[in-house]
Amino acid sequence: MREEGGLRVSPFSRREFLYLASVLPFVCSPSAWAAQRKAQTGSGTWQQTLGVLGRAYQAEMTAHEHYVGYTQKALEEELGNVAYLFHAFSISEKVHAENYQLILKGLGTEVERAVVRLQIADSRTNLRRSAIKELEKIKSLYPDFLRELEGESHEDAIVSCMYSWKSHRQHEQKIKELTKYKGFFVRAAVSRIERVKLDFHICMVCGATLDREPTSPCDICNRSLANYRKVEAPA
Ligand SMILES: [Fe+2]
Ligand SMILES: [Fe+2]
């Protein structure tokens, strides 16, 4: 998302939107989606869309703030790779939140950050909690948001939600593995993370997060390599 001359400029081409619309039926009924889009595009109120975007913004900011706290805790515990992982996720979540904020601004709504009590524990607990939260987003939060957006079919809102959802899904398998560890075994999972070589890069358009240097355009938003930012390990 970007702004030019005070006007919001959609970063999504029509071709990209059509592509994303073609995968939307995984969460929405295609016929209902098409019919409602035709009926309601241009309604000008976007009440439901504003509600979803507001909740999505708060959810992503809450995740961002937790990851910032988790990073700090991991550094205190001298778990460099865990801190690096949390730091990369914190940046990705911020990209998602800012995308929603920008769409809301374009719709004339300034969103205020809600006050949230952060729950920061030890790194092993933080890792397990974050894995559970990520799975919630993948399995229920984003599919629900997309179903709700179906009614008004605001193009940028749907595309932005799809980007966030797909970016979270990039690590679904790894996250599932993490949630299997309990008690003593979480320690083993942390040790494993600490042994691998990580080199995080984040697409600043959609929040896609890679743990290696990208060699091709973003898998999620299809933007060029130039949109990736290398994430430096926190100190
Ligand atoms: Fe996110
Ligand atoms: Fe991307």
What average pLDDT score do residues 9-36 get?
43
Distance in angstroms (rounded) separating the CA atoms of residues 60 and 95: 9
At 213 the pLDDT is 95
At 17 the pLDDT is 44
Q: Is the pTM of this model over 0.85?
A: no
In a domain? residue 140: yes
Tell me which residues have their CB within 5 A of the ion that is ligand 1.
Answer: 60, 93, 96, 164
Tell me which residues have their CB within 5 A of the ion that is ligand 2.
Answer: 203, 205-206, 208, 218, 220-221
pLDDT band at 191 (very low <50, low <70, confident <90, very high): confident
Q: On the CB side of 216, how many CA atoms lie within 13 Å of its CA?
A: 3
In a domain? residue 192: yes
Residue that is written with structure tokens 């700090």 in the block? 72
| Ligand lying closest to the C-alpha of residue 66 | 1
At 195 the pLDDT is 83
- Residue 77 CA to ligand 2 centre (angstroms): 32
In a domain? residue 11: no
Q: What total number of domains does the chain contain?
A: 1
Q: How many CB atoms lie within 10 A of CB 69?
A: 17
In a domain? residue 35: no
CA distances from 227 to 8, 28, 89, 107, 222 (A): 19, 30, 17, 25, 10
In a domain? residue 129: yes
| Ligand lying closest to the C-alpha of residue 164 | 1
What average pLDDT score do residues 81-93 get?
94
Domain span holding position 129: 46-197
What's the CATH number where 83 sits? 1.20.1260.10
Q: What is the mean pLDDT of the chain?
A: 83
In a domain? residue 205: no
In a domain? residue 18: no
In a domain? residue 125: yes
- Residue 166 CA to ligand 1 centre (angstroms): 9
Q: For the chain, percent helix, then strand, then coil, each to nearest 5? A: 65, 5, 30
